[in-house]
């Protein structure tokens, strides 16, 4: 089997210089399950179970789950402070997309935001042989202009918890995101599934208005953090907004699906006095383990089971989302991003004490994140050396910070996405497209990412779950760092440690143009990304050229008439 190695390095750089709204659509509530999946048999799912190798097997239900979404702009106050937001169907987070393992999902998206394009990416969804539906502006499509619509179609070949979000500029951080729940088996039993719980940071200005500040002086201060779209905000003697609250019934076990949807915040999550049994990371079921504090990088997800067994201790407990200062923007409310878990009929202010973990930006231990379905990575003995891919950051002559790869910032054109070039049989991509060609089927690709910067980065790959072979601080040396090839951590977002390294591997089993990028919002917009063009000739056959070309024609017409200028990297 062929093997390839890609070296990625991050280099150091210096810089010279509303009213409340209804979000009932995302309220936590129990979900129905497949026949055979009960509170005592969660490992079963119809004719399949938790041991099924979902990469190669799984149901085809014949059921289509169809959704109609409209993106609008309006004034809202998630934390009691009004600002302009963008949202899907009028709520932040947007409506949760529910499906069962094996369903076909169809999502119709209408852009009703004046002055903005849009696209919707289904984060972590592998899009097996459906790459044109990955929803990334300038990569798989042109942005959808105001007044236009687009339809995405894909099959739920995985199960678990993930999210969707805009992949156009910084739109996601203005509110265009929501949860995805794909029902399937689980590696431990529980009584009720409460659905998604988003952790996010929040500013009182739109993300777009802060982009220049981010480029000139570094990441802006976050004004607050939200739990499922709400929190209080304290300004001197004035407190506005409201806490997120969650009711527990003593003796019941609950599944909670945690998602870090932040712009620039690594969270540690806990509920005072309660232990969490972790059963999945990203869209990968794992061998269950217990913890009281869960580290969640940007874009990551964890499914946990919490047993309501503390009613004898107190009636109310703090739920805490604590920004880790060593890898997050400063947050005005960093000590008060909290919700309330309560036993009884109504919540009141808790007086419980938190666990007080060490401030750090590491993923949970690899010894805990053991995939339930075991996979082995091919030996790296036959690695071939490509030219190193060096990623860094530097200011332009105007002191605007941009990230770069081999001296070239990712710079894609909204109107000329990668898939349009793939359809046109382009073989020599512009250097600013940061394309890595992987033409062979079923090839193992090993990516070595390192940084000399004192900044941690959540690295996300589209189109694949990747295998985490090594993570650590210091310089990576293949002769001295042991790689874990025997059922290593498997997920789609992993942390690159500050002044450290991350080694991942994936197989070329999914033709398409797949982005790999840092999921810090500022870094994504400033060009910290490369793309793998995988099995290009086969990827071309998957393209619906009529839909692609019509979307691009509509975008070009609108952009020309609006005078909108592209000021970011296009994604």
- Write down the pLDDT at residue 470: 94
For residue 42 the two structure tokens come to 């969660």
- Write down the pLDDT at residue 452: 80
pTM equals 0.94
DSSP-based three-state secondary structure for 300: coil
- Write down the pLDDT at residue 214: 83
- What structural domains and CATH numbers belong to the chain? 3-15+372-562 (2.60.40.420)
Residue count of the chain, please give it: 571
For residue 361 the two structure tokens come to 């930006």
- Write down the pLDDT at residue 30: 44
- Write down the pLDDT at residue 454: 86
For residue 9 the two structure tokens come to 């390095």
- Write down the pLDDT at residue 527: 85
Residues 95 and 118: their CA atoms lie apart, in Å, by 17
Which of 429, 363, 361, 434 lies closest to 403, judged by CA? 434
Residues 129 and 15: their CA atoms lie apart, in Å, by 42
DSSP-based three-state secondary structure for 426: coil
- Write down the pLDDT at residue 111: 99
Mean pLDDT by 10 residues, the chain (571 residues): 48 26 42 74 96 96 98 98 98 98 98 97 99 99 98 98 98 98 98 98 95 86 97 97 98 99 98 99 99 99 99 98 93 96 97 96 98 92 51 54 66 96 96 93 89 89 97 90 96 95 94 96 89 97 98 98 92 94
């Amino acid at each position: 089997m062929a093997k390839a190695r890609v070296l990625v390095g991050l280099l150091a750089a210096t810089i010279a210089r509303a009213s409340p709204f209804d979000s009932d659509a995302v309220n936590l509530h129990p979900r129905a399950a497949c026949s055979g999946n009960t509170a005592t048999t969660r490992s079963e799912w119809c004719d399949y179970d938790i041991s099924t190798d979902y990469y190669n097997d799984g149901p085809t239900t014949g059921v289509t789950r169809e959704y109609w979404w409209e993106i609008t702009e309006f004034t809202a106050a998630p934390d009691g402070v009004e600002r302009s937001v963008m949202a899907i169907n009028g709520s932040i987070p947007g409506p949760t997309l529910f499906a069962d393992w094996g369903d076909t999902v169809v999502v119709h998206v209408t852009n009703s935001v004046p002055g903005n394009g849009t696209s919707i990416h289904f984060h972590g969804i592998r899009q097996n042989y459906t790459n044109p539906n990955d929803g990334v502006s300038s990569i798989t499509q042109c942005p959808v202009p105001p007044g236009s619509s687009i339809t995405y179609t894909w099959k739920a070949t995985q199960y678990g918890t993930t999210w969707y979000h805009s992949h156009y500029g910084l739109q996601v951080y203005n509110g265009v995101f929501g949860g995805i729940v794909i029902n399937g088996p689980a590696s431990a039993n529980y009584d009720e599934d409460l659905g998604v719980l988003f952790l996010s940071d929040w500013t009182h200005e739109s993300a777009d208005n802060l982009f220049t500040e981010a480029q000139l002086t570094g990441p802006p201060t976050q004004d607050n953090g939200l739990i499922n779209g709400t929190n209080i905000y304290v300004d001197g003697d004035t407190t506005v907004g409201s806490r997120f609250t969650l009711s527990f019934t003593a003796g019941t076990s609950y599944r909670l699906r945690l998602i870090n949807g932040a712009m620039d915040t690594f969270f540690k999550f806990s509920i005072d006095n309660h232990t969490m049994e972790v059963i999945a990371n990203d869209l990968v079921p794992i061998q269950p383990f217990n913890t009281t504090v869960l580290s969640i990088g940007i874009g990551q997800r964890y499914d946990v089971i919490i047993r309501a067994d503390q009613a004898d201790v107190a009636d109310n407990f703090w739920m805490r989302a604590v920004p880790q200062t060593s890898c997050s923007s400063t947050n005005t409310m960093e000590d008060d991003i909290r919700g309330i878990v309560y036993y009884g009929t109504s919540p009141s202010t808790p007086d419980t004490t938190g666990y007080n973990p060490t401030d750090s930006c590491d993923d949970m231990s690899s010894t805990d994140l053991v995939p339930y379905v075991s996979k082995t990575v091919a030996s790296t003995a036959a690695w071939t050396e490509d030219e190193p891919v060096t990623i860094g950051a530097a200011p332009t002559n105007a002191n605007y910070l941009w990230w770069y790869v081999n001296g070239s910032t990712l710079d894609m054109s909204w109107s000329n996405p990668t898939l349009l070039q793939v359809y046109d049989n382009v073989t020599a991509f512009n250097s600013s497209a940061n394309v890595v060609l992987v033409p062979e089927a079923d090839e193992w690709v090993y990516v070595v990412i390192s940084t000399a910067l004192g900044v941690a980065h959540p690295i996300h790959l589209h189109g694949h779950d990747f295998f985490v072979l090594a993570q650590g601080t210091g310089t990576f040396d293949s002769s001295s760092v042991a790689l874990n090839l025997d059922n290593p951590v498997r997920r789609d977002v992993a942390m690159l440690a500050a002044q450290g390294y991350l080694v991942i591997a994936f197989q070329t089993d999914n033709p398409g143009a797949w982005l790999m990028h840092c999921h810090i919002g500022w870094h994504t917009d400033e060009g910290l990304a490369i793309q793998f063009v995988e099995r290009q000739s086969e990827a071309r056959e998957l393209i619906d050229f009529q839909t692609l070309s019509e979307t691009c024609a509509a975008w070009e017409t609108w952009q020309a008439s609006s005078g909108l200028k592209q000021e970011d990297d296009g994604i």
